[in-house]
Amino acid sequence: MENISKSDETSNVRESLIITAINFLTNPNVKRSTLTQKQSFLRNKGLTDKEIEIASNRAGIYYPDGSAPNFKTHTIINMDRQHNSYVVQPKMETLSRFSKIKEFLKSMALFSGIMYTVYMVYQNFIKTLLTGQNKQKTIEQKLEEFTNKVENDLKILFDNVNSLKEDISKNKEIESVKLDIQTIQQDVDKIRGLLLNKKQFANPTLQSIIPSIPQWQIDARRSVDLEERDKNEDANSGSGSSETENVTKNSDSSLEIM
């Protein structure tokens, strides 16, 4: 009787609906919903609580209390009524993908922490003991290296500054030459403009006018010339008469002497 009741109970389980429910529960869009919402949806679709439980176990769904179903204790027995054969399907215990990733990350973090601790212990203690170096000596070496580095950087900086000064002086010379060239070009343009203007606008031809003396000045000049001529003639005539008188006087005196 017990075997018959078990077979009736398993025959009431509909395998096709369970497979559909598993596909529904494993759908990525459905995984965001809560287990209660999923179960209520399956009940509305006509699945029994037993079928929902079986589908949840197969899909690896956790219960609300956080415990995973024990797949080892559950077996599904399908009975084909036509052939009266039993099919036993054992379930494998599986972990979700998220839990595997979580465990892997935990292991990696723990391993990284251990390796970092070992490295720091080696650098600070074991290496010093093995090489026999003193901390004070290492600090002095670091200071010396730092000063050398600063000196090299300053030297490079000064070289760059000097090169910049040279470039600036060269640029100034080039700018002065450019200014001189511009001024010369402007002067040439001005001269060219003047020459072009001279060719385009030639000087007007002036009529040659002979200068003339007014008539009244001519008449006055003639009168002055006549007066001077008369004076000269009178002077010449006076000098001639005096000469004759002197000649006569001389002749008379000579006669008296004789």
Q: Which two tokens stand for residue 182?
A: 């511009």
Separation between Cα atoms, residue 54 and residue 58, nearest integer Å: 6
pTM listed for this prediction: 0.23
Distances (CA, A) of 136 to 143, 147, 149, 185: 11, 17, 20, 72
| Each residue's pLDDT expressed in tens, for the chain with a length of 258 residues | 444 444 444 445 688 888 888 888 888 777 777 878 888 888 888 888 888 888 888 887 755 444 444 434 344 444 444 433 333 344 434 457 788 888 889 899 999 999 999 998 888 888 777 776 555 567 888 888 888 999 999 989 988 888 888 888 888 888 888 888 888 888 888 888 888 776 665 555 545 555 566 666 777 777 777 777 777 776 766 555 555 555 555 555 544 444
Residue 81 makes CB contacts below 8 A (sequence gap 6+) with: 11
Q: Which uninterrupted H or E stretch holds 136?
A: helix 135-200
Q: What is the DSSP letter of 73?
A: G
Tell me if residue 78 falls in helix, strand or coil: strand
Residue type, 7: S
Beta bridge partners of 87: 78
Residue type, 112: S
